[in-house]
């Protein structure tokens, strides 16, 4: 580890660029962040997410906020996919390379779609912040509210991306950089509703985070139907078409993904257990 660290400290920008060039080519950042926020429940939450789509809706509430380069392009015939990285031991550091976790994979209108999340550990000093800022730039990422490397000190960043069909690049749909990314409790939730493809269209894709103790999330759609998601029984893999509550490496909360049936869109979301 010491030798690797010493070698990395002497790597030039060109060296890093060569290592990350392929990843940078695979990332597409959305349009300038805009958002509409709905807050509800007995305890209003002050957190903010940045979303990369003008058609996105951010929902925050309780009743008791990039990019995932390296998304795997499946052929639509594989029944399952192994998680790219299991939850890492606490002693491992992920400052200039994020932890990537797949959240969902499915088929829609004959095309495969995927949702992944990347989590970047909080830099502890100037050198780590500069290394992370440079790595993010090479991935094509712009962390929220961070125009200089020093803005990343002590802050964790996450980026959630969506890939649809034969698109050559995953698209960042949700991201944030936070100093205190605390665990949720009870029926707390935060979620975003997005078009499944493009920047416009019906908000069929719901992505959100819940407490580790959440046992059930219900996504309700405008046509009167609903989708219920529960914790996966196999966190090490993702099956085609599964919609679950899942762990994400580096995240203090769990995540869920719901997809509305065709010809309808998001109405509401609630932690029901």
Please give the pLDDT value at position 49: 55
Position 97 pLDDT exceeds 80: yes
Please give the pLDDT value at position 91: 55
Exposure string (b/e) for 145-180, b if CB count within 10 Å is 16 or more? Answer: ebeebeebbebbbbbbbbbbeebebbbbbbbbbbee
Query: Could you tell me the two tokens for 21?
Result: 């060039």
Please give the pLDDT value at position 144: 83
Q: What is the mean pLDDT of the chain?
A: 75
Average pLDDT over residues 239-246: 88
pLDDT band at 205, cuts 50/70/90? very high
Contacts of 94 (CB under 8 A, 6+ apart): 88, 119, 120, 121, 250
- For 21-40, write each residue's pLDDT tens digit: 444 444 444 333 333 333 33
pLDDT band at 268, cuts 50/70/90? very high
Position 54 pLDDT exceeds 70: no
pLDDT band at 93, cuts 50/70/90? confident
pLDDT band at 255, cuts 50/70/90? very high
pLDDT band at 158, cuts 50/70/90? very high
Share of the chain above pLDDT 70, in %: 67
Please give the pLDDT value at position 59: 67
Please report, for the chain, the start and end positions of each structural domain, with discontinuous segments joined by +.
35-271
- For 176-202, write each residue's pLDDT tens digit: 999 988 889 999 999 999 999 887 889
Contacts of 156 (CB under 8 A, 6+ apart): 119, 120, 121, 122, 177, 178, 179, 181, 250
More confident of the two residues 90 and 235: 235
Please give the pLDDT value at position 104: 94
Q: Are 31 and 46 in contact (CB under 8 A)?
A: no
pLDDT band at 53, cuts 50/70/90? low
Share of the chain above pLDDT 90, in %: 46
pLDDT band at 88, cuts 50/70/90? very low
Which helix (H) or strand (E) segment holds residue 220: the answer is: strand 217-221
More confident of the two residues 4 and 107: 107
Please give the pLDDT value at position 143: 87
Average pLDDT over residues 207-212: 94
Please give the pLDDT value at position 55: 57
Position 14 pLDDT exceeds 60: no
Average pLDDT over residues 111-131: 94
Spatial separation of the C-alpha atoms in residues 270 and 3, rounded to whole Å: 49
């Amino acid at each position: 580890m010491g030798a690797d660290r010493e070698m990395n400290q002497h790597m030039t920008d060109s060296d890093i660029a060569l290592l990350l060039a392929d990843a940078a080519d695979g990332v597409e950042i959305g349009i300038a962040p805009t958002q509409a926020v709905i807050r509800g429940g007995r305890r209003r939450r002050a957190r903010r997410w940045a979303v990369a789509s003008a058609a996105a809706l951010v929902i925050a509430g309780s009743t008791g906020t990039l990019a995932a380069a390296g998304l795997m392009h499946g052929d639509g015939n594989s029944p399952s996919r192994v998680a790219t990285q299991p939850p890492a031991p606490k002693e491992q550091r992920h400052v200039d390379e994020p932890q990537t976790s797949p959240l969902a994979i499915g088929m829609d209108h004959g095309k495969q779609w995927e949702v992944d999340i990347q989590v970047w550990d909080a830099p502890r000093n100037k050198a780590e912040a500069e290394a992370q800022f440079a790595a993010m730039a090479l991935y094509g990422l712009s962390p929220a509210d961070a125009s200089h490397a020093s803005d990343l000190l002590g802050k964790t960043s996450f980026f959630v991306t969506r890939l649809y069909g034969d698109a050559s690049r995953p698209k960042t749909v949700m991201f944030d950089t936070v100093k205190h990314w605390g665990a949720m409790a009870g029926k707390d939730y935060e979620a975003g509703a997005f078009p499944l493809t493009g920047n416009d269209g019906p908000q069929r894709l719901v992505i959100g985070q819940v407490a580790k103790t959440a046992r059930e999330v219900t996504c309700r759609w405008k046509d009167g139907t609903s989708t219920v998601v529960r914790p996966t029984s196999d966190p090490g893999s993702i099956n085609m078409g599964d919609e679950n509550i899942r762990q994400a490496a580096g995240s203090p909360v769990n995540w869920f993904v719901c997809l509305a049936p065709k010809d309808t869109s998001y109405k509401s979301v609630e932690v029901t257990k």
